[in-house]
Amino acid sequence: MVAVAIPKPEERTIKRPVSNCPGCGATKVSMALKEGLRRYNKENKAKLKLLYVADRGCGNLQGWHEYGIVDTITNMGMAPMVALGAKYSSGGLENNYMVVCASGDGAYNFNINGMKIAAQDPPSMYIIYDNYAIRMTGGQIGLINEYEIEGKAIGFEVYFINPYRYEENAEVFKGLIGEYLNNKAIMVVADGTCSRDLRAQLRDQGVKLGTFIRREDCKDVVYQKERERIAKENPEKLKEMPPFKCRLCGIRLRCQALLENDPSRCYNCGACAHYDCESLTCAEPNLAMVTEHPKKYIEVFKRMQGDD
């Protein structure tokens, strides 16, 4: 049998580009969670490991295939019960395992009893990708839930985050990990995780959002100019050159628009403005600007428009 070398995650990501819509909020939440855990471990000299149990869906599946964030994919609505089993089978915190489960709002409604059990058997952390403004993976109409009321009634401490504010969310999760270790039941609602449909709704309201901007000193912008020069002077040499120099922003933010350097594909999420690269930002207004929750995107932007 011939041994086959398994490519590194970053190599797989380059060869199989990000398949989520540009601006997908679900993937940015999972990324912020992982970064929050990294920061917690570093600051507290801890060795916590993450077990991420997720219901199937576009954001979670991408995390499974290419980014190594999601550890298991379940049928919709089963994440709370599978996470409970994972907590006991892994030994949980006794073996330095932190178990987090995630799903869309549909799964929340499919297994409300599972949610109750998760709340009554802490520590637990449940992340909800709130689909109130989107069609969901199968094109269904998003459901409306009063998480602040319902979550507290079940037994959770409820937090709302804007999924596009990556740096801020990493700090939020770092703090919530401390709450998890204090045996709390935590619900994190990522408010409006589909930038595609939010943009469409805002356009219907007459709101035009800004796109990402790369400065001239961006490594990839400089490199692309060099490729253009080589293409004119020595086309054969161009074949030996890689297609890009640095697109870590596109890989880390999981954004096809950034990977292809194509503003026309940008869904205006604004995560660029919160990414740690001085050569990258996002024009305002963008979805990451909204700090009021829950369900305030359209209201906030209409108010901004009225102020102009």
Of 151, 180, 195, the residue at which a domain comes to its end is 195
User: Do 169 and 288 lie in a common domain?
Assistant: no
The model's pLDDT over 145-191, given as tens digits with 9 standing for 90+, comes to: 778 888 888 889 999 998 888 889 999 999 999 999 999 999 998 88
Domain for residue 4, yes or no?
A: no
User: Do 180 and 223 lie in a common domain?
Assistant: no
The answer, yes or no, to whether residue 67 has pLDDT greater than 60, is no
**What's this model's pTM, rounded to 2 decimal places?**
0.80
Q: Could you give the angle at which helices 25-44 and 166-181 cross, rounded to 10 degrees?
A: 60
User: Do 133 and 227 lie in a common domain?
Assistant: no
Domain tally, the chain: 2
User: Do 145 and 271 lie in a common domain?
Assistant: no
Exposure class string for 208-230: b at 16+ Cβ within 10 A, else e: ebbbbebeeebebbebbeeeeeb
The residue that leads in pLDDT, 221 or 300, is 221
> Residue for token digits 């589909």?
194
Residue 4 backbone class (left: φ over 0; alpha: ψ -120 to 50; beta: rest): beta
Domain for residue 300, yes or no?
A: yes
The answer, yes or no, to whether residue 6 has pLDDT greater than 50, is yes
User: Do 169 and 38 lie in a common domain?
Assistant: yes
User: Do 214 and 172 lie in a common domain?
Assistant: no
Range of the domain at 259: 202-307
User: Do 58 and 87 lie in a common domain?
Assistant: yes
Residue 180: per-residue pLDDT: 94
Domain for residue 112, yes or no?
A: yes
The answer, yes or no, to whether residue 30 has pLDDT greater than 70, is yes
